[in-house]
Structures are given as C-alpha cells and as structure tokens.
Structure 1
Amino acid sequence: MDKLLLPPPLASDERFSILANIAAERFAQIDLTVLLVYLVDLVDASALPSLASQFHIQGLEGWLFAESEQERRDLIKQAIELHKYKGTPWAVRRVLEILSLPGNISEWFEYGGKAYFFKVEIKLINQGMNEDLFYSLVDLIHEYKNVRSKLEALIVWIISQSAIPIIGCALYGGEITTILPFQITEIQQIKPIYFGTGQWSLEITSIYPEQIWLMNSIPS
C-alpha cells in the first residue's frame, strides 16, 4: 500500500495503521466510475434518459429520433451547443447530422422564394418513411429554427443501397366538397390526379347429387 496519510499520534499506533490499511484496500475495490455520470461515453446506458431530461433534449427535441445508443450519447454531448445556437440554420443542420439524418437547408434568397421562408432536404439511406415520421421531422425542425422563419417544404430523398434495390410506396388521398348557397359554375383542375384501381372476383359453383324421385304404380 502507498504511505498512509495519518496524523502523527495515529501513525505511531500499530492498531490504527492496520485499520487504515484494511480500509484503504476496501475503498480501492469500489468502482467510482458510476459516479462520473457526465462522462457520457462511459456512463451506463440506464442513466442516459435521465441525462436527456436534464439537458432538455427529450421527445421532439431529438430523443424521439435517436435509434441507437451511440446517437443518444452524441445528442447528450451536443445538447449544450445545440441550445446555445438554437434558432440558427446551423442548429437545424447539426441536430439532423447527429441523428443520422443528413440534410441541406436552402434559404429563401438562395432559390428566389418568399422572404424568411426556407426548405429542408433530408436523405434517408436504407430507411423507410411514413406519415408520422414525416410530421415528427417537421416538428423537430420547428424546435430548432427561429420563430421568424417559415418552413416552406420538407423534401425527403429515400435512397436504397443494396445489390437489388427495392423501393415501395403507397399513396392515398381524398377530396372534401362543401356546397354552400353560393354555387360555383366552373372548377378547373390545374394539377393532374392519378387514380389506381384493382378488382378481385370469385365465382363459386356447387354441384349437388342428382335427385331421383320414385313413384309407386297403383294398379287400377
């Protein structure tokens, strides 16, 4: 053992020296790394949700989109910087990068749009997209953009990298018509609408045994 730092009156007493050595050996066996919760790369995974709550990155601020443990750790490590620059294009772009959703932001003056509008393009590589995820991404962008700017469009590129790429999608839509006292005399459709239909039919033919009726002949 290393030299024990005991006061002179205790150091000269062999009993206290033995007791101090026993205590030092016991204390040396205690794992103190569990107390180092802010070493995000080393902390146990069970502590990550509590850290996410402390650093205010739960739900739509990023935690909902973190699919892997490493993404959760990276999000926690970048939480302070994300909040520091919240309301800037950098914050929107950075949070998408952390969550493996690389995106590109185009501001209104770059594409000749309306003032203070912007567009976001996101690439999904070997990932799917549904309606809930799409609108959740919109909410994520709203969390990190500034209040003045308006999201004009969210463009999602679905990329399949495989020997035999397979991409499938489904589209459904509807139309609501409200008839008021004012009658519209003419309606113009300026955008094509594509409809798809399918038909499935089944015919069942049943053959029963032939029925023979027996008639008794009554002599006259």
Structure 2
Amino acid sequence: MTNRLLPPNATPFELALEQATGNRIDALPAPLRDVWNPDTCPPNMLPWLAWAFGVESWSAGWTVEERRAAIKSAVEVKKLKGTPAAVRRAVAALFPSASVTEQSGSYTFGIQLDVTDIALPQRLLHDVIRVAESAKNLRSHLTKVGVVATSTSELHVAAAACLGVELTVYPSNRVLGPLILDGSWALDGSQQLDGTLNG
C-alpha cells in the first residue's frame, strides 16, 4: 500500500509536485474531528462551521459560547423549522432562560426574557428577535417581547445588646445627691469626678 493519492497514470509533473508538497502538507496539523465539533472547533473556524451546519442567524458580535450554542442548535432548528419548538430552540441558544408563549388560534407568540442578575445588552435583544423571526413559520407573528428583571440578594441581620452599670457620681469637694448623667449636667470642668464607684 502506498501513501500516494495520485492515480497510476499521473504525469511526471504531478508526481514531482506531490513529492515537493506532500511532506509539508503532512506536517500541517489538521484535526478534522476537532474542526467539525462545535465544542472543540477553534474560534477562528466557527463562522465556516456555522455555514456548513446551515446557521441562518449569525453575528460577529456574539461571544464564542453564543456562537457554539447557535451551531449546536442549528440541526435541530432545521428539523423543526416553522414550529414553536424551533423558535424555542433558536432563542434558547442565545438566551437560555427565555420562554416562548404561543397564543392559541391567533398565530401569534411572545417571548419572555428573564434577566435575573444579568445585564441585557440591546444587541442581544435584537439578536433574539432576529433569530425568532427566522425560525418561525410565515403565518405566525411575534407580538411582544417581555423582559422580566429580578434581583436577588442576601439579607444580613445584626443584633446588639448593651449591658451597663448604674453609677453614682459625687463631686470630691462637696456631697450632693446622686448626679444623673442625662444630658442636663455639663462636663465643662466646673464639676469634678473622683472616679470611685459608690453603691
């Protein structure tokens, strides 16, 4: 068995060309299995993989994860194109928490986007609408896109307890009744405290 791709009736020029370029072509890394897999395809090859899978909605502004998700869902979207399931899959590729609601009998549907603790860029909103429009059938119409924003946070509760001692303070030079420090007695130096606790 030979490593040649040329037929036995190849011309001398073709044989020489194969010999000159064959070794260099073999040295090129061509992980074909990785290129055809959306999870392992190099990011610079994703547009060509999307074309090969028939992705209809594509944006260069998408993140690598969004591009991979669009390619993965392309085959299922093609199988179901024109059905509510196709719209759900196409929208979920860009926005996993989205829900598609269909109004029965009226050929209209709506999309609800749950933006819990994430920002919703206007680009993503336009992309969701464009993807839904391309996956739906011709008689159905997108009537509304709802955005539900919820925010979750942790509740921190603190408590404090105070303990105190009742003091009776007497001036050192004269004996008065107990002084009550309720804000009416000024500590301006006219009164002296001896620092002893009587009780």
Question: What's the TM-score, normalizing by structure 2?
Answer: 0.54
- For structure 1, the residue ranges without an aligned partner over 5 or more in a row are 7-25, 165-220
Quote how far apart the aligned CAs of 1:144 are.
1.0
Quote how far apart the aligned CAs of 1:154 are.
1.0
Quote how far apart the aligned CAs of 1:53 are.
2.7
Q: Give % identity.
A: 28
The structure 2 residue matched to 1:55, chosen from 53, 57, 67, is 53
- Distance in 2 (CA, whole Å) between partners of 1:52 and 1:163 is 42
- Distance in 2 (CA, whole Å) between partners of 1:143 and 1:124 is 23
Q: 1:42 to 1:147 in 2, by over 3 A?
A: same
Q: 1:161 to 1:96 in 2, by over 3 A?
A: farther
The equivalent of 1:33 in structure 2 is 31
Question: What's the TM-score, normalizing by structure 1?
Answer: 0.49
Please say if 1:76 is aligned against 2:71: yes
The equivalent of 1:98 in structure 2 is 93
Quote how far apart the aligned CAs of 1:56 are.
3.3
* One-letter amino acid of the counterpart of residue 137, structure 1: V
After superposition, the CA RMSD in angstroms is: 3.3
Quote how far apart the aligned CAs of 1:75 are.
2.0
Secondary structure of the residue that 2:149 maps to in structure 1? strand
Quote how far apart the aligned CAs of 1:84 are.
1.8
Q: How many residues align?
A: 135
Quote how far apart the aligned CAs of 1:92 are.
1.2
- For structure 2, the residue ranges without an aligned partner over 5 or more in a row are 3-23, 156-199
1:1-220 alignment, distance < 5 Å: 31-33=29-31, 36-57=34-55, 61-63=57-59, 66-67=62-63, 69-109=64-104, 115-129=106-120, 133-163=124-154
- Distance in 2 (CA, whole Å) between partners of 1:141 and 1:130 is 17
Q: Deviations over 1:20-54 (max 9, x none)?
A: xxxxxx99986442575212322222111221233
Q: Say whether the 8 Å CA contact 1:87–1:145 is kept in structure 2.
A: yes
